Amino acid sequence: MRKIAILLSVLILLSACDLFRLRDSEPPTKPPPWNSLTTTWEKCLENIQFCYLDSRNVVKYSGLFTDAYRFYFSAQDINDFNINLNWNRANEQDMLINLHSRCDSIGLELETLPGQNDEIGANVAKVYRKYILKLYRADSADPQVFSGNFELHIAREFGNWYIARWYDYRSYATPTWGKVKYDFSQ
């Protein structure tokens, strides 16, 4: 009899705590911003920003580049940091994975260059931008700042735009995007 009383007490307690009540599922998280089809060169450029600003886009990053893609480090970075790399889309992908795994957040600002017009054709484009890349880490109150200018050669293949070549230029005393790529390549 005592066992039945204990069993009934346990059942009453379990039913009182809503253990068996159906609950609503958690709503899915908002997907990261992304242009699935880069039918304009602007969407391709925008996707670069989306990859740096939201780590969930890392897996899509190498898809922004042509198979023959090359990154060209600034001449000053090659001399100052002894960089001697043949940089391709696989290096880009590995670098961005490392970057997101070591930083808490990333800020990226792109601005047009005064007096430097983009050269846009039907199937090729040269895009010139000033950039400021900020890397935020929990162990530092201030972000690491990287800035300079870049020139992207973007080509249309099969209706979408892809980056074929990326030239990095140092224009300030701060380190460049190329330095970020080199530092986070391993």
Does the pLDDT value for residue 148 go beyond 70? yes
Q: Output the CA torsion sign for 36, 160, 49, 164.
A: positive
Q: What is the pLDDT of residue 90?
A: 95
Average pLDDT, the chain: 91
Does the pLDDT value for residue 153 go beyond 90? yes
CA distance 60 to 48: 10
Q: Please write the tens of the pLDDT for every residue from 9-58.
A: 766 666 666 656 677 777 778 999 999 999 999 999 999 999 999 999 99
pLDDT-above-70 percentage for the chain? 92
CA distance 13 to 11: 5
Q: What is the pLDDT of residue 171?
A: 87
Write the secondary structure of 59-108 as one string of H (helix), E (strand) and C (coil): HHHHHHEEEEEEEECCHHHHHHHCCCCCECHHHHHHHHHHHHHHCCEEEE
Q: What is the pLDDT of residue 13?
A: 64
Query: How does residue 64 score in pLDDT terms, banded at 50, 70 and 90?
Result: very high
Give the mean model confidence (pLDDT) for residues 148-169.
Answer: 97
Q: Please write the tens of the pLDDT for every residue from 74-130.
A: 999 999 888 877 899 999 999 999 999 999 999 999 999 999 999 999 999 999 999
Q: Please write the tens of the pLDDT for every residue from 2-20.
A: 777 777 676 666 666 665 6
Does the pLDDT value for residue 1 go beyond 90? no
135 neighbors 108 (Cβ within 8 angstroms): no
